[in-house]
Amino acid sequence: MQHTIKADTGWRIWWQLTRPHTLTAAFAPVFLGTMIALTYDKLHFPLFIAMLVASLLIQMATNMFNEYYDFKRGLDTEHSVGIGGTIVRNGIRAKTVLNIALALYAISVLIGIYICSQTSWGLAVVGLISMLIGYLYTGGPYPIAYTPFGELVSGVVMGMLLILIAFYIQTGTVTKDAILISIPSMLLVGAIMMANNIRDIEGDKLGGRKTLAILVGRKNAVTVLAMFFIIAYVWIIGLIITGHLTIWGLLVLISVPKPIKAITIFKNHLLPIQVMPAMKNTAVTNTLFGLLLGIGILIAHLV
């Protein structure tokens, strides 16, 4: 029996195409990096907004590259779980998705030029490398997302590096404290990718991917995800004990129920549709963690 693909170009489809649940991976690090910088210098608000918008656009474009290349490689079908597969389910032309992604990259480059003109042109190299990695994550002959290094690369670029760039454009430097505080964000962004790979583990096997989740097996992958969460929280406690953060850093503990829910769901359910809430809780963990830590740093600065 053949299925007819219904074209749908409503705004919800285009919004889904950006994969909004992943956009927190761009917002939280920029906010956190800016709050750390505020303890060193006055806030340059236009640079903060420019950095935030550029980061969100790059994340959206990366998601669209992922959509496009998953379609081209036959990994997405009209029965794909989640908000991926917009091309096959909703009749959006693949070329249109690719062109939108490239347009978002072009806009982010223009914003990047403004940021560099106000700070350092050396950032242009860092920005272009980050954009290239965003493309190569699912594009090119050897996509990073299809290897065991997806979590590491996404964590370093979308977690740690975003914090340090946001910090640098406000202060003109990178400090040891900024690097130390960025490590939990690196782990939590990597956790978002790991959660995605755990959900898609069976489909990814059929598609020929060699993700970390596939290599270690589903049960061990859930354990690795749990370790990402645990280390992130323990790391903050360690920074408080060693004086790199104040007691206000403990605000991050408010977000603890989210990763607990995520791990519980992954342990109790196997089907992709059943573990979708676990992916949401993982993404929310990253958002709440970054926001709460940033707020804690801001409070400590103001008190």
Side-chain half-sphere exposure of 11, counting CA atoms within 13 A: 0
Three-class DSSP category at 26: helix
Residue 229 or residue 100, greater confidence: 229
What is the per-residue pLDDT across 68-77, written as a single tens digit (0 to 9) for each? 887 777 655 5
The token pair at 32 is: 């956190």
**Percentage of the chain lying above the pLDDT 70 cut:** 88
Whether 140 has a pLDDT exceeding 80, the answer reads no
Please return the burial class of 45, using the count of CB atoms within 10 Å of its CB with bins 0-12, 13-18 and 19+.
exposed
* Segment (H or E) for 289: helix 276-302
Give yes or no for a contact between 16 and 83, defined as CB atoms under 8 angstroms apart.
Answer: yes
Q: Residue 4 above 50 pLDDT?
A: no
Joined tokens for residue 244: 């790199």
Among 251, 126, 131, 249, smallest CA distance to 180 is for 249
Q: How many whole angstroms separate alpha carbon 117 and alpha carbon 111? A: 10
Task: State the helix-helix crossing angle for 257-268 and 176-199, rounded to 10 degrees.
Answer: 30
Give residues with Cβ within 8 angstroms of 102, minimum separation 6. Answer: 61
DSSP letter (8 states) at residue 85: -
Please give the structure tokens belonging to residue 117: 């003109």
Section 166-191 average pLDDT: 95
Instruction: Show me where the domains of the chain are located.
Output: 11-302
Q: Give the whole-angstrom CA distance, residue 262 versus residue 213.
A: 16
Residues ≥6 apart with Cβ < 8 Å to 31: 52, 166, 290, 291, 294
pLDDT category of residue 7 using cuts at 50, 70 and 90: very low
Asked whether residue 90 carries a pLDDT value surpassing 60, the answer given is no
Least confident of 15-24, 97-106, 251-260: 15-24
* Distance, CA of 61 to CA of 64 (rounded, Å): 5
DSSP 160: I
Residue 208 pLDDT > 80, yes or no?
Answer: yes
Burial of 42 (0-12, 13-18, 19+ CB in 10 A): exposed
User: Tell me: the pLDDT tens digits for 264-301?
Assistant: 999 999 998 999 999 999 999 999 999 999 999 999 99
E strand spans, the chain: none
CA-CA-CA-CA torsion sign (286, 162, 14, 62):
negative
Topology (CATH) of 11-302:
Farnesyl Diphosphate Synthase (1.10.600)
Distance CA 293, CA 289 (A): 6
Whole-prediction pTM: 0.85
Q: Specify whether the CB–CB gap between 86 and 92 falls below 8 A.
A: yes
**Radius of gyration for the chain, computed over Cα atoms and rounded to the nearest angstrom:** 19
Using CA atoms, how far apart are residues 53 and 31, in angstroms rounded to an integer?
A: 12
